[in-house]
């Protein structure tokens, strides 16, 4: 199927042609026809599947076809709410690209900066507003914008919204929206609390689910290191020193853990920066800017903060901590190996994370190749109890070989 077969209007089709887009991704192929019919949609898909275009294109087309758009003063007809500044900017850029041949205008508002320039653009009139929850409610409370004319509402990255504590803000926003509207709800994962939230937003909706295996980049090389928790930092330093010129995102499960990694790397003479929810918007933007322009090669991030990061030539992803939600693993490694580029995804696994690894391998339906014989192989008794010693190690023990300097790994895998 092509975009032309989806009956995209000429101005949008021209914009897609200029970017070389001819074939829609699976979520675009499924979602665009549903949305062009005016139906509500529940979408489960990770970043990198093309979901922004999946909702941006039909929203632009419906507004473009509205006979009242040009005749009356511009009012906000479409609202996209997203959790982070970085993601909001990215979505706004996409709307601008797809609507550049139309009369439609969009703008983006977010906290952490002065509001004057954002308010100025709102006063000039916009059709489409992309916003983070805090700044949106702040400007509403100041009577600087209204949601009474909203026809299309998108809640993007809903699971991240809840993780960041935005649930009360979302409920306040929902109360301000017109009852008659088209609603779109997107989330990378779909636990029970997310499903319950979607039910309060959507009416007679259709569902589109893009399975993780469809979203995983095929050109990403994956590997796993079994390592003691206390040795993870030393292993990370070793890998970074061997790949010092590669752009790398290191994922930490917690904000405190991310800061700790930055500190340890600095002690080893390695420059890095952390991006997480406790960092100010300006600090996060400076770190991301330095990373994108090549001033900084190593970025330490939590999953929440990383949702808005879009780096086209990212060479490597390192999972310092394995995620406890297997879909998050797919989301993380999908940040490298995009387009025509190849990428590398390295994961550390301590004994307490073995269950997470099993869940990940079950989800992606493959065994991740194990790196054996490295300097930091976990040789603890607890690890043997969890996985069992290798055949070689059993033989060594029977011979009374106490050489533990270079232990063999417990997992056997022909791919290394």
Band (pLDDT 50/70/90 cuts) for residue 125 is very high
Mean pLDDT of 24-40: 95
User: What does the pLDDT average to over 144-166?
Assistant: 91
Q: Summarize pLDDT for 161-183 with one digit per residue, the tens.
A: 887 788 899 999 999 999 999 99
Neighbour tally for 379: CB within 10 Å = 18
User: 214-398 is classed in which CATH architecture?
Assistant: 3-Layer(aba) Sandwich (3.40)
pLDDT recorded at residue 6: 93
pLDDT for res 124: 93
Give the least confident one: 109-123, 135-149, 313-327: 313-327
Is the pLDDT assigned to residue 22 strictly greater than 80?
Answer: yes
Contact (CB, 8 A) for 203 and 39: no
Higher pLDDT, 139 or 45: 139
- Given CATH 3.90.110.10, say whether it is the number of domain 4-210: no
Cα 254–chain centre separation: 16
What is the per-residue pLDDT for 288?
A: 83
Mapped onto helix, strand or coil, the DSSP state of residue 62 is helix
Confidence tier at 392 by pLDDT (50, 70, 90): very low
What tokens were used for 330? 């797919």
Q: Where are the CATH 3.40.50.300 domain residues in the chain?
A: 4-210, 214-398
pLDDT of residue 284: 78
Give tens-digit pLDDT for 374-385.
888 876 645 444
Residue 372 CA neighbour count, 13 Å, CB half = 15
User: Shortest CA distance to 99 belongs to which of 116, 84, 83, 77?
Assistant: 77
Asked whether residue 408 carries a pLDDT value surpassing 70, the answer given is: no
Contact 12, 64 (CB under 8 A): yes
Report residue 293's pLDDT band, with 50, 70 and 90 as the boundaries: confident
The CA-CA-CA angle for residues 184, 336, 166, to 5°, reads 35
Q: What pLDDT, on the 0 to 100 scale, is given for residue 305?
A: 64
Tens of pLDDT, residues 130-142 = 999 999 999 999 9
Please say whether the beta carbons of 416 and 369 come within 8 A: yes
The 10s digit of each residue's pLDDT in 244-257 is: 888 899 999 888 99
**187-232: pLDDT as tens digits:** 987 878 888 899 999 999 999 998 755 445 456 889 999 999 999 9
Residue 308 is predicted with a pLDDT of 59
Distance from C-alpha of 275 to C-alpha of 273, rounded to nearest angstrom: 7
Q: What 3-state DSSP class applies to 186?
A: strand
pLDDT for position 214: 47
pLDDT of residue 397: 43
Q: State the average pLDDT over residues 279-305.
A: 82
**217-231, 260-274, 386-400: which is most confident:** 260-274
pLDDT value of residue 226? 95
- Both tokens of residue 282? 């300006």
pLDDT digits (tens, 9 = 90+) for 319-350: 999 998 887 888 788 777 654 456 889 999 99
Q: Is the pLDDT of residue 394 over 60?
A: no
Per residue in 268-280, pLDDT tens? 999 999 988 777 7
Residue 290 has pLDDT above 50, yes or no: yes
Whether the pLDDT of residue 411 is over 60: the answer is no
């Amino acid at each position: 199927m092509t975009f032309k077969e989806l009956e995209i209007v000429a101005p949008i089709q021209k914009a897609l042609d200029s970017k070389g887009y001819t074939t829609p991704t699976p979520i675009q192929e499924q979602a665009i026809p549903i949305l062009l019919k005016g139906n509500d949609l529940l979408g489960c898909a990770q970043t990198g599947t093309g979901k922004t275009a999946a909702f941006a294109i039909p929203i632009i087309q419906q507004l473009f076809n509205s006979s009242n758009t040009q005749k009356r003063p511009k009012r906000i007809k479409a609202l996209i709410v997203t959790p982070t500044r970085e993601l909001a900017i990215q979505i706004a850029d996409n709307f601008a690209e797809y609507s550049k041949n139309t009369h439609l205008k969009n703008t983006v508002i977010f906290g952490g900066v002065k509001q004057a320039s954002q308010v100025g653009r709102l006063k000039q009139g916009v059709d489409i507003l992309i916003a983070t929850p805090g700044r949106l409610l702040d400007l509403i409370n100041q009577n600087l914008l209204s949601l009474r004319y909203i026809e299309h509402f998108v809640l993007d990255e809903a699971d991240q919204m809840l993780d960041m504590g935005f649930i009360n803000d979302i409920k306040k926003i929902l109360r301000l929206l017109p009852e008659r509207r088209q609603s779109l709800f997107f989330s990378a994962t779909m636990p029970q609390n997310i499903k319950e939230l979607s039910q309060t937003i959507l009416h007679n909706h259709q569902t589109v689910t893009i399975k993780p295996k469809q979203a995983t980049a095929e050109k990403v090389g994956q590997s796993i290191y079994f390592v003691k928790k206390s040795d993870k930092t030393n292993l990370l330093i070793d890998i970074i020193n061997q790949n010092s010129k590669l752009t790398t995102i290191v994922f930490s499960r917690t904000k405190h853990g991310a800061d700790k990694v930055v500190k340890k790397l600095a002690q080893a003479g390695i420059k890095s920066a952390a991006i997480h929810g406790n960092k100010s918007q300006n600090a996060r933007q400076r770190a991301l800017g330095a990373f994108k322009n090549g001033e900084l090669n190593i970025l330490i991030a939590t999953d929440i903060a990383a949702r808005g990061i879009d780096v086209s030539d990212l060479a490597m992803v390192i999972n310092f901590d394995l995620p406890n939600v297997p879909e998050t693993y797919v989301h993380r490694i999908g940040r490298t190996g995009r387009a025509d580029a190849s990428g590398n995804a390295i994961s550390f696994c301590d004994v307490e994370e073995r269950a997470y690894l099993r869940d990940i391998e079950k989800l992606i339906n493959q065994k991740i190749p194990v790196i054996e014989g490295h300097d930091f192989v976990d040789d603890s008794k607890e690890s043997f109890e969890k996985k069992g010693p290798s055949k070689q190690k059993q033989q060594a023990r029977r011979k009374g070989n106490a050489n533990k300097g270079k232990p063999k790994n417990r997992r056997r895998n022909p791919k290394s």
